[in-house]
Structures are given as C-alpha cells and as structure tokens.
C-alpha cells in the first residue's frame, strides 16, 4: 500500500549546536518551508509560535529560500522563536540551520546567507573540517554605573556580594556580568531564576575568566579544546523569553567576544558555555563583526502534520 502523505506535511530536524557529540551543546529544531504549498504558513507568526511551543526547545528556526527557483539554494529568510516569543538574534539555531541545510543537500556552495531581523548573517564551511563559522554583528555592551539597580539584583540572584561583580554592562538586548571565578564556579546547576526575572533583558550573561583555579577545577577534563585552554567561560539565562537557561547561547558571544577580546588583548579566543550540557566555541573579532565557529550534529528527523 502506498504511503499516504498529509497535504501539509513539513519536515523538522533537531540538531545539537556547538557540540561534536550527540546530546551535548544546544538543541534547535529546524523547519525549512518551501514557496507555495497548500497554505501560506511561511509568514504566519502564530503558526511558528505554536510549533516552537510544541518543540519546546530554547529555539526553533524557520527558513524559506529567498529564490522561488528549485533548490539547492544559498540564501534564506530566517526567523527564530522560543516557546513563548520571537527573538531578534540567535546563534545556535543559525548554526543548526546551516548544518541541516548542508547535510540535507538543500544548500549549495561554501557560504549561506541568512536574511534576519538583525540584518544579513552568513555561515561558512571551514575547509577540511566539520566546523561552521557564523558572521554576526558585534553587540557591544556599555558599562552600567556603580549604583545601577542591575548590580544589586545580580548580587541577590547569585547569592554573592556586589564586590564579586567585576563588571556589569548592557547592550540593546542583553545584560553582561563578569563575576569572580569563585562565584562562577559556585553558581550550581539552578540559580534563582525568579530573582533573575527582575532584570529586564533578553539574555542575562554571566561570565568569568577560565584561567584561574576555581573555574579550571569546575571544567576538569573539559578545560580545553583539542589541547588548547579556554580563555573564558559563561552561562546564559533568558527567563523573560521562556528559557530559564540557554545551554549554549551563540548570540551572547556577540557581546562576550568584544569584551574579552579587549580585556585579554586577543583577537581569537576559545570559549566554553559551562551549562550542564556544555558547549565549545571559537570566537574572533573582525572589524565590527564577530565570527563564531562551532560544530553541530543531527539527532532527530520527523514531520509536522499541521
């Protein structure tokens, strides 16, 4: 008996970004929508939001080729949704999208262009490896004054003194906070998300140097990448957009990279997102852009029936 195909059947793929191994890094669902079809779902934000809630991952990516010609393609419109909101920028779901497009043969060439709410983003295959490099905008964070309420709110949420908050800054989306290595290493798996919700931002980024004892002990055998030690560590919390902790937040590195690049006087840095799942990135400043490199692995394929 021939297989019965649902008239609105759409493929969906889950890929773990910023990991070389399955079930590490940050999972994202990827839906590639074609032009035409039984209904115009490609621009239906309500449908996308419902799918993202159903996937229940930190982000679901929706892509549509910019050309109406038959594929493969090298240019796509891209939108990202958490389970509760559309977001302006997402790194790990962009990396997952590029990985899925190349793996499935839906993209051609060594570079993919994504048209997004944060402008044009690019993904490039690194020659001779499975690494993919994203070209993202720099999102510089300006330091907050000593009496900024975010500092007191952070010290309460992290159960530390204000002197342990070494730097606190904000950009158009996020709050970046460098803490002492001892505080970072002692955060545990579940910081106080209720208190974090009082800080108005898309992502609350907590970071520390990876060069000092407490963090090195916390990382253990994951203290480097292919024999090269990490430069900094971070964790990313986004409770206001429905994600208590983002396992590996690529777009947070649009703020982290210029900060640590200036502080350490290095253009290329190795970063570790020290969430329970964990993930590794190679980041680099390039004029006013940030290059974010990572790996990805497909873990699930399925279809949406509605």
Q: Rounded distance, CA 106 to CA 87, Å?
A: 25
Q: Rounded distance, CA 52 to CA 238, Å?
A: 16
Helix (H), strand (E) at residue 93: helix 92-103
Q: Rounded distance, CA 214 to CA 228, Å?
A: 18
Active site residue 228: no
CB count within 10 Å of CB 170 equals 19
Q: Rounded distance, CA 274 to CA 285, Å?
A: 22
Q: Rounded distance, CA 96 to CA 18, Å?
A: 9
| Secondary structure class of 100 (helix, strand, coil) | helix
- CB burial string 180-197: b at 16+ within 10 A, e below: bbebbbebeeebeeeebe
Q: Are 236 and 246 in contact (CB under 8 A)?
A: yes
Provide the CA 203 distance to its chain's centre, in angstroms: 10
Considering 9, 54, 59, 228, which one is annotated as catalytic?
Answer: 59
Q: Rounded distance, CA 106 to CA 97, Å?
A: 11
- Residue 141, token pair as written in the block: 């964070």
| Secondary structure class of 242 (helix, strand, coil) | coil
Q: Rounded distance, CA 174 to CA 107, Å?
A: 32
Residues ≥6 apart with Cβ < 8 Å to 106: 32, 71, 72, 73, 100
Q: Rounded distance, CA 74 to CA 45, Å?
A: 24
Give the active site residues: 59
């Amino acid at each position: 008996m021939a297989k019965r195909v649902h008239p609105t059947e759409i493929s969906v793929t889950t890929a773990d970004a910023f990991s070389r191994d399955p079930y590490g890094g940050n999972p994202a669902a990827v839906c590639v929508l074609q032009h035409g079809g039984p209904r115009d779902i490609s621009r239906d934000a309500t449908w996308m939001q419902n799918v993202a809630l159903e996937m229940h991952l930190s982000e679901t990516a929706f892509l549509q080729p910019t050309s109406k010609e038959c594929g493969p393609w090298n240019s796509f419109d891209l939108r990202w949704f958490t389970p509760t909101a559309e977001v302006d920028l997402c790194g790990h779901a962009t990396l997952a999208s590029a990985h899925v497009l190349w793996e499935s043969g839906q993209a051609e060439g060594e570079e993919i262009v994504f048209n997004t709410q944060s402008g044009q983003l690019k993904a490039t295959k690194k020659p001779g490896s499975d690494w993919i490099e994203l070209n993202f905008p720099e999102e510089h964070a300006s330091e907050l004054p000593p009496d900024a309420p975010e500092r007191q709110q952070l010290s309460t949420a992290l159960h530390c003194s204000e002197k342990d908050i070494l730097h606190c800054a904000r950009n158009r989306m996020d709050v970046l906070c460098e803490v002492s290595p001892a505080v970072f290493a002692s955060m545990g798996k579940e910081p106080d998300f209720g208190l974090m919700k009082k800080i108005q931002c898309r992502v609350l980024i907590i970071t520390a140097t990876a060069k000092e004892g407490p963090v090195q002990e916390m990382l253990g055998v994951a203290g480097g990448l292919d024999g090269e030690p990490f430069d900094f560590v971070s964790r990313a919390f986004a409770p206001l957009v429905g994600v208590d902790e983002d396992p590996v937040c690529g777009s947070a590195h649009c703020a982290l990279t210029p900060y640590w690049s200036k502080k350490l006087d290095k253009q290329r840095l190795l970063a570790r997102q020290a969430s329970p799942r964990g993930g590794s990135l190679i980041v680099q400043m390039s004029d006013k852009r940030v290059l974010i490199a990572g790996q990805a692995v497909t873990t699930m394929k399925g279809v949406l029936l509605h």
